[in-house]
Structure 1
């Protein structure tokens, strides 16, 4: 299914849903962050996705990271809450979702890197190598906040 991110776009379609979602900012021993290249739009992003009924929200980040990257992770903190009503996500099925995402800090605890139907590439990326990658501004903010090690979670 296709995906288009609209950020402060006056021509964007009106939202028709809000789905709690998560992303995981996972770092390795060298301080690199785990990123996926999304299969739906080609952008690079933190692994993550929508919350399922019956699961704890931190478990959403754990499940989505395992599904998209093959890695098992442990949640060790929270980076922030991202709820910008100007960021709309338009899907090919007609859903237009208003952003609602929780970014968790995590560490790898097992598994093997692999791609999935949602990720065409999976890679550990150093902060100084992010500049040339296509990353939407909202996701880039979450990644920057993760590298910044802010003392308090971002709320915005």
Structure 2
């Protein structure tokens, strides 16, 4: 399903949905961060997705990272909570979702990055100096920057 992200755009469609979702900022022992290239919008992003009924938000983050990248992670902290109503995502089925995402800090436990072929067309460890060369939505870049800064206080937006 195709997706268009709007951020601070006065022409954006009005949100009609709110779905709890997660992202996880996993860093390896070399300081690289695990990113995926999304099929739905072509942007590079932290792995993540919607929480499912019957699971905790923590378990959703672990599941989503493994599904999208093949890397099993452990959750070690909170980067932030992102609920900015100026960021909406429009899907081709008519859903317009307001951002609602909890971003966790994670560490890799096992596995090697690989695309899933459904939601991700690439997955890899990225050195922070490479970030400026990747197409990253501003809302996602904010999360990545907060994760790399490593502050002890979570960001709440």
Report if TM-score (shorter chain) is over 0.5: yes
What residue is the counterpart of 2:45 in the other structure?
A: 45
What residue is the counterpart of 2:12 in the other structure?
A: 12
Larger deviation, residues 109-118 vs 89-98: 109-118
- 1:79-130 per-residue CA deviation (whole Å, 9 max, x = no partner) reads 0000100000111111000000000000111123211111111111111110
- 5 Å-filtered alignment, 1:127-142, equals 127-142=128-143
* Cα distance in 1 for residues equivalent to 2:130 and 2:75: 24
What residue is the counterpart of 1:119 in the other structure?
A: 120
* Cα distance in 2 for residues equivalent to 1:119 and 1:92: 18
* Cα distance in 2 for residues equivalent to 1:19 and 1:153: 21
Residues 25, 46 of structure 2: 8 Å contact kept? yes
Query: How many pairs were matched up?
Result: 156
What residue is the counterpart of 1:23 in the other structure?
A: 23
- 1:19-49 per-residue CA deviation (whole Å, 9 max, x = no partner) reads 0100000001100000000011110000000
Are 1:145 and 2:154 matched, yes or no?
no
Runs of 4+ in 1 over 3 A off after TM superposition: none
Residue 148 of structure 2 aligns to a residue in which SS?
helix
Residues 22, 103 of structure 2: 8 Å contact kept? yes
* Cα distance in 2 for residues equivalent to 1:9 and 1:113: 34
* Cα distance in 1 for residues equivalent to 2:138 and 2:25: 16
* Cα distance in 2 for residues equivalent to 1:151 and 1:77: 9
Residue 30 of structure 2 aligns to a residue in which SS?
coil
Residues 114, 124 of structure 2: 8 Å contact kept? no
- 5 Å-filtered alignment, 1:32-111, equals 32-111=32-111
Q: TM-score, normalised on structure 1?
A: 0.98
Q: TM-score, normalised on structure 2?
A: 0.98
